[in-house]
Chains A and B, each alone.
Chain A
Amino acid sequence: EVQMVESGGGLVPPGKSLRLACTTSGFAFDEFAMHWVRQAPGKGLEWVSGIDWSNAGRGYADSVRGRFIISRDNARKSIYLQMDNLRPEDTALYFCARDVGRTLGYPESWGQGIRVTVSS
């Protein structure tokens, strides 16, 4: 069974950093691109970032470019989202999702999400 489990969320003051992790199982991790998608409370989905199978191709939403960095560790079957200079508007449920293929396309399978709250 394909599984993604997010961790690392929590409450953090504005301007601080947080690192999210997504640990996967049930599939050949190094053959799939991965995504982070977030959802602010009561709001819609926002694509945050994605990384291809080889670590070479990455993309970011305009709202996080320059502050967030996505990475992956194929040996650990995990992806990460380093979030720096956090803002209150980054408060959201962050989903990790597996793509359908090696290069970045559409998310196919999703984790249950991890909550991040940015507040003083």
Chain B
Amino acid sequence: IQLTQSPSSLSASVGDSVVITCQTSQDISYFLSWYQQKPGKAPKLLIHDASILESGVTSRFSGGGSGTDFTLTISSLQPEDIATYYCHQYDNFPFTFGPGTKVEIK
């Protein structure tokens, strides 16, 4: 299953709402997670099952979608949100990650 993310990078202002999309090459129901990775660090799980926020993750992050089209929304972008974001499907082997979306502050 191939995953595409858009945009590949974005630059937004502090306080802006940001939307990252992830499209899968076949229907994966809701078996999608989102990760945040900061430079030099291991990835951090943000959302699983497309829309369930992990405990301890700020509610500024939200996920949506099902089937083949998914979104990660960051409401009110903050400087600490600067990172690369990856979607990941775990519906079918081999599991796969999207190519990533790099988020920067304008």
**A residues neighboring B (CB under 8 Å):** 35, 37, 44-47, 50, 59-62, 65, 95, 100, 104-113
Contacts and interface: CB of A to CB of B under 8 A. Distances in A.
A60 to B, nearest CB: 6
Contacts of A47: 88, 94-97
Given A44-B86, A106-B48, A59 B93 contact: yes
Interface of A is mostly: strand
Which range contains the number of B residues in contact with the other chain?
20 to 34
Interface of B: 31, 33, 35, 37, 42-45, 48, 84, 86, 88, 90, 93-100
A37 B95 CA distance: 10
A46 B97 contact: yes
A106 B33 contact: yes
B100 A44 contact: yes
A95 B94 contact: no
A101 B69 CA distance: 25
Contacts of B95: 35, 47, 50, 59, 104
